[in-house]
Amino acid sequence: MEELTFANILENNIYKDRDVLFSLQPPTGFLHRIKQKNELVMELAPVLMNSPVSCIFVYGNPGTGKSALLLDLVGEINDEARKRKLDLTTAYVNCSESRTETSILLSVMSQVNPAKEYPKMGWNRAKTLDEFNKVMNKEAKNVLIILDEVDYALRESGDDILYRLSRINNQVKSKVSTIIISNDVRVSDYIKPRTQSAFGRIKIIFSPYNSNELFDIIRERVKFALQKDVISDNVIRKIAEIEAGRGGDARKALDLVDACAKIAVAKKKSKITIDLVEDADRSMEENSVLNIIASLPKHQKILYLAVLKNEKNELEMDGGEVYRNYLELCESYNVEPLTERRIRTFLINLSEVSLIEAEVGWLKTTKKKARKITVNLDKALRTKADKLLRSSI
């Protein structure tokens, strides 16, 4: 491989404005989401009439435009509220970062009442609830709360936050509207029947993009992000087909475009060709897995190494076998092991980031029904993962 210099890269005429590939706001508006936008506009319009909207439920796979479209609409609704002299405050909380009822409410209060400084943690539930009710009674305004990636909070802390928000307008002077966004289409599994009856009456679904829709989205972005004639429609079609087959994630499709462009720059090519797509796709998949592994906390690294310890070709095992392997590794690394219950939670985390697949099924090795854990890594990537884990624990 030839050595690169900054001058080499800057001379290569591939990019026009790379930031466009990653911007939440598309350059010419949201393609193939008119239906969802119209539904949201209809459901949110009562807020501008001084009437709270109870619990709009937005869900769909990652990369389908949910958060981006909603944040765009928040800008629109705030503009319209100012024109109408309506006192409206919006509070956005990402529940992957705030996963408990207490931390979510503290985040909401810090946005609704910015004059007061609230801690990110340290308050107990009773104190937080008391303060939240005081703020909502004192402000007496319209408040729009958006809980993004709410599945994180539901899995970790239960649905108390949803139950509370579904009844909040009976308890405070402010008029509180709530939108929840979930990347997990099975999110209702984490919501109790009493909450489901009050929450989620309005459901807006963002289905995965198909290959034709991804083609349109990519082609529109590259007009602004890349130089003219750098990428052909055939190459765009190939990228769209790859990502449509994996879940219709527009972000990943655009990431793949960027990976192709970087390889073209490195190889001093003036165009992105089909063979570069295949190279970039392989590289992205491998780098993604290794980056996730590198970011795991120590005990999750030991656990994943315990999963990889299985030498069978099928890499199929049950939770008990994984835990036994985990205990052995903890002893060898002189680390105090965690409980089996805690390890089961970690297995769920590993499944969420696609490092393992875990489902209840027939386990051929033990000839019984159990939680079956499998790893889908090729031999080369598995060797790299094993080496990375052992060197970083």
Specify the amino acid at residue 27: P
Label residues 191-212 b or e (16+ Cβ within 10 Å = b): beeebbeebbebebebebbebe
- The percent of residues above 70 in pLDDT, for the chain, comes to 93
Ranking 132-146, 168-182, 303-317 by mean pLDDT, the lowest is: 303-317
Of residues 215 and 315, which shows the higher confidence score?
A: 215
| pTM, 2 dp | 0.74
pLDDT at 48 over 80: yes
Q: What is the mean pLDDT of residues 296-325?
A: 79
Q: Give the count of beta carbons closer than 10 Å to the beta carbon of residue 284.
A: 16
* Domain spanning 296-392, CATH class: mainly alpha
* Domain spanning 34-206, CATH class: alpha beta
CATH architecture of 6-22+209-293: Orthogonal Bundle (1.10)
pLDDT in tens, 120-131: 777 888 999 999
Confidence of residue 313 (pLDDT cuts 50, 70, 90): very low
Q: What is the mean pLDDT of residues 95-117?
A: 90
Q: Give the count of beta carbons closer than 10 Å to the beta carbon of residue 388.
A: 18
**Domain coordinates in residue numbering, the chain:** 6-22+209-293, 34-206, 296-392
pLDDT at 341 over 70: yes
Q: What is the mean pLDDT of residues 140-155?
A: 90
- Asked, colleague to colleague, whether 6-22+209-293 and 34-206 share their fold, the answer is no
Q: What is the mean pLDDT of residues 57-82?
A: 94
For residues 230 and 14, the answer to whether their CB atoms sit within 8 Å is yes
Mean per-residue pLDDT over the chain, rounded = 87
pLDDT at 360 over 70: no
Residue 64: what are its φ and ψ, rounded to 5°?
-105, 10
Residue-level pLDDT at 367: 54
- The percent of residues above 90 in pLDDT, for the chain, comes to 52
